Amino acid sequence: MQSSFALSLSSHLTSTTIPPSNLPFDSLLLAPSKPVNLRFCGLRREALRLSSSAKSQSTTSFRAPARSSKILASLGDNGSAPKSFDYDLIIIGAGVGGHGAALHAVEKGLKTAIIEGDVVGGTCVNRGCVPSKALLAVSGRMRELQSEHHLKALGLQVSAAGYDRQGVADHANNLASKIRNNLTNSMKALGVDILTGTATILGPQKVKYGKDNMVTAKDIIIATGSVPFVPKGIEVDGKTVITSDHALKLECVPDWIAIVGSGYIGLEFSDVYTALGSEVTFIEALDQLMPGFDPEIGKLAQRVLINPRKIDYHTGVFASKITPAKDGKPVTIELIDAKTKEHKDTLEVDAALIATGRAPFTNGLGLENINVVTQRGFVPVDERMRVIDADGNLVPHFYCIGDANGKMMLAHAASAQGISVVEQVTGRDHVLNHLSIPAACFTHPEISMVGLTEPQAREKAEVEGFEVSIAKTSFKANTKALAENEGEGLAKLIYRPDNGEILGVHIFGLHAADLIHEASNAIALGTRIQDIKYAVHAHPTLSEVLDELFKSAKVEAPSSSRVTETVVV
Ligand SMILES: Cc1cc2nc3c(=O)[nH]c(=O)nc-3n(C[C@H](O)[C@H](O)[C@H](O)COP(=O)(O)OP(=O)(O)OC[C@H]3O[C@@H](n4cnc5c(N)ncnc54)[C@H](O)[C@@H]3O)c2cc1C
Ligand SMILES: NC(=O)c1ccc[n+]([C@@H]2O[C@H](COP(=O)([O-])OP(=O)(O)OC[C@H]3O[C@@H](n4cnc5c(N)ncnc54)[C@H](O)[C@@H]3O)[C@@H](O)[C@H]2O)c1
């Protein structure tokens, strides 16, 4: 038996009708609704992402309130606010966003419950960041072991590298289980009540979960996340036409796979598949691959991550129709010109991965009971994540964080938004600076970024009337990168020469995802280049790439006295 929640989630998975907000593809939307199929690469299996724990609808942990406040359940009539509450804070959705909010809430002394309709951990832990990074850890090693040139340069000899597909798949699956348990245990240990069942908002400060359990809270956070977005005309069967949910299980490594969409998911999976022996064809609607990245970094990434690998691509085209393989026939993909909509080509491949963005999961949440109308499925919020109703007013005590509000679809952004909300409900005003939130694509080598791209910075400069300068440093000049024989890389700084403000930093190269934090922390804390350039970095480390970057910037403003003062130890 599947829980009704899991069923609704899985049907939503293949019948998403809401496009990602940034894409002008309305004519191609409305995917056909079909249940995810059961056979994939010869293995019979259940394709629904269900766990047995989702079947029970009970409280899995209960602790005494962390705060001594007397909270009594007193339900008002539907639609009216209760007078006293079961909890200080209820969070709907135990993904990374909900988890981050819950942990911060108990730290702040709030009596907190989190309601989860499926399994703890949400997308990131079960179907996203965690299993994908496990696959990428394998692809990175395979790539290194297969590169004769690279190994020879280090003086190494290794006989042919191989892999066991099931072993790789198990690594990803085991990691997800481990992290899911860690998340669950951390919440239980701190006294967060984990309530199991689908939640529906009944009115202000009131939520139903499971069959007919009712709870009230002073404040409520919606953190219901997202599901893969499948454009109209594409039939997902879960075996030959798949989304990331299926691909992460690695039930098959196709000889030739088309990847529709060259964003984060497409790019990361191209790294995995090509390392494991597949040929990849990208299908990208916009005129260039990786359209979301800074164009200069995108070009370099194409030179290193695409051109030398078994990857070809079609840009400026939509995959308007994709039919799964059947009766010995391959997967067929109809391509139309993105502008004229004329037929361009028909491809025949072994499999297709649909990586065309994510859609918010907000169906059936009961938003109508608080007069909220979603925007393409996303819950409208202000800069403090406060929910905005259909009349443009703030809904008291209601917040929405993470993928469901569409501000920034990243795990750490969801968690940071949750922490920001908890700060507010515990009396400290807090506005999260989204321009300080870093992002990374975990290819080999990695790409990372924070703040604005160069075109965005130039546009802002024109409107606001300031100059933009660019500084760059190469990994080729970095001792540690050269010692690793990984000199291919670039760091780029976009900044204001008049006052030293960091507008954006983009890195392509070894461990770029770890290196970006010096820049993102500087933006978050308002640190200027003329100050950070005096910070000392250990030698030889990759962090010196950023040290060089800040030092090479030409800033007119003087350093603050705090930095230039000499302290005698
Ligand atoms: C393949 C892939 C790789 C990714 N890699 C990265 C990465 O490396 N780094 C990164 O930062 N981000 C990554 N992401 C994005 C990241 O996973 C999401 O941004 C993040 O999971 C969003 O967290 P969330 O808490 O908003 O939602 P989710 O993680 O989606 O969690 C929402 C939870 O709410 C539950 N829920 C929904 N509706 C209800 C309801 N009515 N009642 C009760 N429970 C409900 C769901 O079951 C789910 O558990 C990746 C995504 C994918 C798909
Ligand atoms: N490392 C990470 O942080 C990471 C990894 C994976 C996913 N994610 C998150 O998950 C979300 C979803 O990732 P994604 O890669 O699916 O989305 P994305 O928005 O990054 O990229 C989607 C790409 O598909 C293209 N596209 C859309 N419809 C198309 C069509 N019909 N035909 C051809 N091309 C089409 C778009 O132009 C775009 O380039 C992202 O918002 C990202 O933040 C993050």
Residue 397 in 3-state DSSP? strand
Which residues have a Cβ under 8 Å from the Cβ of 422 and sit 6 or more positions away?
89, 101, 104, 105, 108, 110
Q: What distance in Å separates the CA atoms of residue 382 and residue 376, rounded to the nearest whole number?
A: 16
Q: Is 343 annotated as a binding residue?
A: no
User: 163: Cβ below 6 Å to ligand 2?
Assistant: no
- Active site annotation includes 539: yes
Q: What is the ipTM of this complex?
A: 0.99
* Tens of pLDDT, residues 268-291: 999 999 999 999 999 999 999 999
Which residues have a Cβ under 8 Å from the Cβ of 536 and sit 6 or more positions away?
none
Q: What distance in Å separates the CA atoms of residue 271 and residue 353, rounded to the nearest whole number?
A: 13
User: 264: Cβ below 6 Å to ligand 2?
Assistant: yes
* pLDDT higher at 23 or 108: 108
* Tens of pLDDT, residues 161-210: 999 999 999 999 999 999 999 999 999 999 999 999 999 999 989 999 99
Among 313, 320, 358, which residue has the most ligand 2 atoms within 8 Å of its CB, making it the best to mutate? 358
Q: What distance in Å separates the CA atoms of residue 95 and residue 370, rounded to the nearest whole number?
A: 23
Kindly write down the DSSP assignment for every residue of 411-469, as one continuous string: HHHHHHHHHHHHHHHTT------GGG--EEE-SSSEEEEEE--HHHHHHHHHHHT---E
Nearest CA to ligand 2 atom 20: 263
Give me 219's structure tokens. Answer: 């404040």
Which residues have a Cβ under 8 Å from the Cβ of 488 and sit 6 or more positions away?
304, 445, 475, 476, 509
Q: How much of the chain exceeds pLDDT 90, in percent?
A: 83
* Tens of pLDDT, residues 308-336: 999 999 999 999 999 999 999 999 999 99
Residue 485 in 3-state DSSP? coil
Which residues have a Cβ under 8 Å from the Cβ of 131 and sit 6 or more positions away?
172, 173, 175, 176, 248
Give me 206's structure tokens. Answer: 């009131």
Q: Evaluate if residue 410 carries a pLDDT over 90.
A: yes
Q: Evaluate if residue 90 carries a pLDDT over 50.
A: yes
Q: What distance in Å separates the CA atoms of residue 550 and residue 524, rounded to the nearest whole number?
A: 16
For 17-40, what is the mean pLDDT? 34
Question: What is the Å distance from ligand 1's center to 560 Cα?
Answer: 41
Name the β-bridge partners of 317. Answer: 337
User: 265: Cβ below 6 Å to ligand 2?
Assistant: yes
Ligand 1 binding pocket (C-beta < 6 A) is 92-98, 115-118, 122-124, 127-129, 132, 198-199, 223-226, 244, 265, 361, 365, 402-404, 409-412, 414
Nearest CA to ligand 2 atom 14: 357
User: 233: Cβ below 6 Å to ligand 2?
Assistant: no
* pLDDT higher at 2 or 260: 260
The pTM of this model reads 0.89
560: Cα separation from own chain's centroid: 37
**E strand map for 178-330:** 193-196, 199-203, 206-209, 213-222, 226-228, 241-242, 256-260, 279-284, 311-315, 317-323
Give me 364's structure tokens. Answer: 């059936």
341: Cα separation from own chain's centroid: 30
Residue 198 in 3-state DSSP? coil
* pLDDT higher at 204 or 305: 305
Binned at pLDDT 50, 70 and 90, residue 160 comes out as confident
Average pLDDT, the chain: 88
Kindly write down the DSSP assignment for every residue of 10-75, as one continuous string: HHHHHH-----TT---GGG------PPPSEETTEE---S---GGGG--SBS-----SS------B-
